[in-house]
Chains A and B, each alone.
Chain A
Amino acid sequence: MLDGLIIGFQTAMSMQNIMFVIFGCFVGTFIGMLPGLGPITAIALMIPITYGIDPSSGMILMAGVYYGAIFGGSTSSILINAPGVAGTVATSFDGYPMACKGQAGKALAIAAYASFSGGTIAAVFLLVAAPMLAKVSLSFQSPDYFALLLLGLTAIAAFSNKGSFLKSIMMTLFGLMLSTVGTDQASGVERFTFGQIDLLDGISFLLIAMSMFALSEALLSIISNNRDKKLGIASVTTEVGSLKLTRAEIKEMAPTVARSSVLGFFVGVLPGAGATIASFLAYGMERHLASAKEKLKFGKGSLRGLAAPETANNAACSGSFVPLLTLGIPGSGTTAVMLGALMSYGIEPGPRLFVDNPEVFWSVIVSMYIGNVVLLFINLPLIPYIAKALTLPKQLLTVLILFFSLIGVYLVSFNAFDIFMMAGFAVIAIGLRLLNFSMSPLILGFILGGMLEQNLRRSLTLYDGSISFLWDRPITLGILTLTALVLLMPVISTLRNGRSSTSQEKVAEI
């Protein structure tokens, strides 16, 4: 582990990579702050840039963007009560009331300190857990991978909002279906190309990510901006006031931060759970643990109510890297996009990553520490200035985001057909979003589709066409049992009450 850490520090601490982390944190904060645009969009916009640099620098940049976007989302949650990221919805419960009381600076400082603590504690866990899990997973074979991929695909649906389970399954299947377009790598047969030469190589992951996230989010922000204007909401506060915290306040929040870090990390590790669930669970836990008097403060500007979700969402971000780096299975939509990027660099994610590309594995872990430091010591003091981004003319920003998304994909393929496809997919994504379908399962299904098919094919070949591979190995059987349990839980719950809760639907829309 020590050797790995040294490799990680050597890679991550190079001047170029430090600059990438700083740049990533800034860009992430800026984009995450814009309501409607989340970390997936921020990362997707960065991918074309990362094609020109080495994979470890690319991953470092994207990790910085991820952290920055979550922090940026907290800023817009606190300042304008419009979370840019679903993972920061719980932040607005107590952050915005604090801003209304003229304590925006204090709320932002708490968010930054809590994020820093949560991120740092979780990065230590990651440092210990990831290599251990990676060593265990080295013994995995194709049937185990097939089972793991099934677990990853079902878990994201199982952890989706109540009542959205079937919708998430549909989106996962849609993503899997899209992944079959193009030439079948094993047999060389064309599938769903409809005679189009441009579809022979399949649909690029970047194109799907950009159109389903960046384009559709930017276009839908036009509708929400106009609606907000009509309703007269979202007045922007760029005067943040003092960022100082008292010793008593820090003492009050310390246990909350410790509890939420542990909770956030472990929720983040679960495939499909991620920052949103972690933040809500941490908020709920803290409220539950609070005294009757303290409980009354929740929702009106409670320090603990703000610190808990902020700590947990950042800890979950680190946690979600565990399945990504060790098993090659993303824990969230954001890490799914990162996985797609890794694959397009020609890197095989999974347990071999730890052995074959230790510099990528370790530099991502180390860059998380650096990212946290950057956010705390550079981003926080600059927040009053970065917050001015919220006052920039939206009409200019929206069109520029459209341009950068389109040209980002075009510069990889140099094929104008991709721009037409992006327009088509953006229309589909808008339709799906209006029907309250979540895009994360789709991207996960799309990215994992190829691996799922490959591993099923290999497993069947290994077992002479018999499906006994499903129960022959204890690991496979164990993972499949877990998958069945994960799958059955929401089915029972859906059959029992079925109806979706309004507040959770709101989260899904973000």
Chain B
Amino acid sequence: MKISKNVIGALIFFIFSVSYGYHAYQIPLYPGEEYDVFTSQTMPKLYALLGILVSVLAIIMSILNDSRTTNDTEKTVDDFDKKSWLQVASLIGLMVYYGATLEQFGFILSTISFLIFGFLILGERSKKRLFLASVPVVIVFWAIMTQLLGIYLSPGDLWG
């Protein structure tokens, strides 16, 4: 049986709401606060309850509709090719790399490498373009931020 996107989405939201609701009950309260009408837990508990109700309703509705209709018009994830997905995943990895190196290597080095790797991931091979779209952009941006606007950008903990 093929599960539709609607059911998958609602199921994920159901699990999320249950988990959110569990953590809502863990929110600490001050002594005696449990007798108050409104506490820090009130809204999270309400959202969790509504989330569970809506997602269950969405699952039921989707199953009922799916049994009545075919999903031939629905786009599937298979529409997208492997290469594109690999590029997207690599860019997300590159963002994590950027976050990890920004303060270690410093803004200039970290950003230049982020841009060059990013362009390479997306298939840019021209050395001229790789250079022109990274080094001057970063230097100009750095100059505007630090020299013109007086904003501090990390020079890099490793070299400091």
Contacts and interface: CB of A to CB of B under 8 A. Distances in A.
Contacts of B115: 399-400, 403
Contacts of A403: 111, 114-115, 118
Interface in A124-181: 166-167, 169-170, 173-174, 176-177, 180
Given A166-B58, A191-B27, A460-B38, A180 B43 contact: yes
User: Chain A contact residues: over half helix, strand or loop, or mixed?
Assistant: helix
A101 interface: no
A402 B149 contact: no
Given A396-B119, A434-B77, A167 B88 contact: no
A406 B51 contact: no
A396 B100 contact: no
Interface string A433-453: 011110000000000010011
A232 interface: no
Contact of B54 (A173, A180, A414, A453): A173
Given A189-B27, A423-B99, A402 B51 contact: no
Contact of B84 (A226, A465, A505): A226
Interface size class of B (residues with CB under 8 A): 35 or more
B61 A223 contact: no
Interface string A194-221: 0000000000000000000001000110
Given A170-B54, A395-B122, A399-B115, A494 B9 contact: no
B73 interface: yes
B159 interface: no
Contact of A457 (B38, B119, B123): B38
Interface size class of A (residues with CB under 8 A): 35 or more
A406 B114 CA distance: 11
A430 B88 contact: yes
B51 A227 contact: no
A422 interface: yes
Contact of A187 (B40, B51, B133): B40
Contacts of A416: 99-100, 102-103
Given A52-B149, A502-B73, A437 B9 contact: yes
B73 A419 contact: no
A472 interface: no
A214 to B, nearest CB: 12
A410 B30 CA distance: 35
B50 interface: yes
**Most chain A C-beta atoms within 10 Å of own C-beta, residue among B43, B51, B80, B152:** B43
Contacts of A456: 38, 43
Interface string B66-107: 001100011101011101110110011001101110110000
A402 B91 contact: yes
A494 B115 CA distance: 46
A52 B151 CA distance: 11
14 contacts: A166-B54, A176-B47, A189-B30, A395-B123, A396-B133, A399-B115, A399-B119, A410-B102, A414-B152, A416-B100, A419-B98, A434-B77, A460-B37, A498-B64
Given A223-B84, A416-B102, A436-B6, 15 more contacts: A166-B61, A170-B13, A177-B47, A187-B30, A191-B44, A226-B83, A227-B80, A393-B124, A399-B114, A407-B111, A418-B99, A419-B98, A436-B9, A460-B37, A465-B37
